[in-house]
Amino acid sequence: MPQSAIVSRPTQRTSSESLYEQALERLPGGNTRTSIFVSPRPPYAARGEGFTLTDVDGHTVIDLQNNMTALVHGHRHPAVVAAVTEALADGLSFGLPTAAEVELADELTRRIAAVERIRFGNSGTEAVMSALRIARAYTGRPAILRFAGAYHGTYDPILPDGAPGVPPATWGDVVTVPFGDTGAFREAVSRHGRRLAAVVADLMPNRPGLVPAGEEFARALRDETERRGIVLIVDEVITFRLGTGGMHGEYDILPDLVTLGKTIGGGLPVGAVGGRAEIMAVTDPREQGYVEHGGTFTANPLTMRAGLAALEALDAVEIGRINGLGELLRRQLTGLGYQVNGRGSLLRLAPGASERLWWPLYRAGVLIAKNGLACISTPMKESTIEEIVRRVGRAAA
């Protein structure tokens, strides 16, 4: 298209209210992601900078939500922006592999001892979906075991029993056990072990409350699956930011497969599944009967470059620093009388408080997830934590 034919759309001033009214004509509920809808209507983001976000009404908040924890470096980190800008100059996406995916794979396999081979996707949902399919192909077994209340994306078998739109037969090969109940877990694998292809576990699941797994329970996950030839999948989509090799390293266990997302994409859509070379080999297209793994935008160079830049800026020192800030904020909020769960840079206000406080917090200048999930980003300092605490105090007044 000739340059002269390109017409720029004029900048128009708008508001969250007018956008919402317009959106209701095209988007059920007024926006695409049900997980970020807030009643009676959500504010709409306009731009972000560092640890702040400004909505279309001109209201600026300290962003503790960070796109559901994906933006570990906050908004527009210079290294990530530079990486994406450089990648843009070469092209948006290709029908061939690129060096960028090799380099990000190198970085992740270097960081995570359990990951010898890896494949990329476009979301945490895709990562879990692929992991389950790989486990079934590797073991030749049909069933999976999951833990009640944990969220692993929107793949049918991982959703709660009775989820709307999912055929009841889907859960015929799904075993559900209470999270953290070592006895119930051992009993379930003893009873169903010969049918189980995989156990999928998040060691600090957000939706049940962001409470870390106990040492005994985590050890049982590894011991029982290893004994019975069951693939242990540890979901690190949210928790990978807690250590250079993820949260499972704190428990001294090596899962068979690890699912990743959020922070490894630098703020762009991403997912990944990686693990033992022997298991990941079932996806090798050089072999007959391999598990297909496609996706038009899988491993696109923009995400791969952004992800590598984000990880290079998230070294052990920086992880330790933001984990310390998270612990500081947790102590401060606990001192104000709130129940705050989590570990390191990940926090979660008790559900009752978060539902009651979302709008007061937003008006006072603090953004959290509507379920109470919050996180620290690297632009934050101790002075930022002090300001957050002051604003939370104003919101509660």
Q: What is the DSSP letter of 48?
A: E
**From 20, 44, 138, 151, active-site residue:** 151
Q: What's this model's pTM, rounded to 2 decimal places?
A: 0.94
Strand order of the β-sheet with 45-49 is 45-49, 52-55, 60-63, 366-367
CA-based end-to-end distance of the chain:
57
Strand order of the β-sheet with 196-201 is 117-121, 271-275, 257-261, 231-235, 196-201, 143-147, 174-177
Architecture of domain 78-312: 3-Layer(aba) Sandwich (3.40)
pLDDT in tens, the chain (397 residues): 333 334 444 445 689 999 999 999 999 999 999 999 999 999 999 999 999 999 999 999 999 999 999 999 999 999 999 999 999 999 999 999 999 999 999 999 999 999 999 999 999 999 999 999 999 999 999 999 999 999 999 999 999 988 999 999 998 999 999 999 999 999 999 999 999 999 999 999 999 999 999 999 999 999 999 999 999 999 999 999 999 999 999 999 999 999 999 999 999 999 999 999 999 999 999 999 999 999 999 999 999 999 999 999 999 999 999 999 999 999 999 999 999 999 999 999 987 777 789 999 999 999 999 999 999 999 999 999 999 999 999 998 7
Same fold, 3-76+315-396 and 78-312: no
The domain spans of the chain are: 3-76+315-396, 78-312
Encoding tokens for residue 172?
A: 């015929």
Radius of gyration of the chain (CA): 22
Among candidates 138, 75, 100, 284, which has minimal Cα distance to 108? 100
Are the beta carbons of 48 and 63 closer than 8 angstroms? Answer: yes
Distance of CA 72 to the CA centre of its chain: 11
C-alpha span between 154 and 170 (Å, rounded): 13
* pLDDT computed for residue 354 by the predictor: 76
Among candidates 234, 183, 235, 180, which has minimal Cα distance to 209? 180
Q: Which helix H or strand E contains 197, and what residues bound it?
A: strand 196-201
Q: Is 338 a catalytic residue?
A: no
Q: What is the DSSP letter of 213?
A: P
- Counted residue by residue, the chain has a size of 397
Q: Is 235 a catalytic residue?
A: yes
C-alpha span between 101 and 107 (Å, rounded): 10
DSSP letter for each residue of 326-378: HHHHHHHHHHTT--EEEETTEEEE-HHHHHHHHHHHHHHTEE--TTSEEE--T
Q: Is 151 a catalytic residue?
A: yes
CATH assignment of 3-76+315-396, among 3.90.1150.10, 3.30.70.20, 3.40.50.280, 3.40.50.1000: 3.90.1150.10
DSSP letter for each residue of 279-297: HHGGG-TTSTTPPP---TT
Find the helix packing angle between 316-335 and 382-396, rounded to 10°.
Answer: 30
Find the helix packing angle between 99-111 and 301-312, rounded to 10°.
Answer: 40
Q: Which helix H or strand E contains 392, and what residues bound it?
A: helix 382-396
**From 235, 256, 338, 362, active-site residue:** 235
pLDDT digits (tens, 9 = 90+) for 226-245: 999 999 999 999 999 999 99
pLDDT digits (tens, 9 = 90+) for 29-63: 999 999 999 999 999 999 999 999 999 999 999 99
Segments in 167-281 forming alpha helices (H) = 182-192, 215-228, 277-280
